[in-house]
Amino acid sequence: MFGGLAFMVREQMVACVSGGGGALLVRVSRDRDAEYLGVPGARRAEMGTGRSMGEGWITVDEEALSDDGDLRFWIDAVLAYNAETTR
């Protein structure tokens, strides 16, 4: 999806690794969107320059994923949202 490798849980995309490397696209709760955008390296995901994907879609820069704990934070976020939406 989006030129990368998508990860699915319960038939829903939770994350996508950019095909060119360098970024992680995550699907998170809209209720926590502003909080997640406050995390260093996180920004609103875009599908093309200037075309926002909207709340709950966040791109995380590669530099913000420098250790396992950083990646774990985002994995926990996407799995929490997925659990909420697939009950």
Going from the C-alpha of 66 to that of each of 16, 51, 60, the distances in angstroms are: 17, 27, 11
Going from the C-alpha of 22 to that of each of 34, 39, 41, 66, 84, the distances in angstroms are: 22, 17, 11, 11, 28
Q: Which two tokens stand for residue 39?
A: 């995390």
pLDDT along the chain (87 residues), means of 10: 81 86 90 97 91 94 94 96 86
Q: What is the span of the domain harbouring residue 22?
A: 5-85
Q: CATH code at 62?
A: 3.90.1150.30
| Domain count across the chain | 1
Residue 9: its pLDDT value, please? Answer: 94
pTM given for the model: 0.88
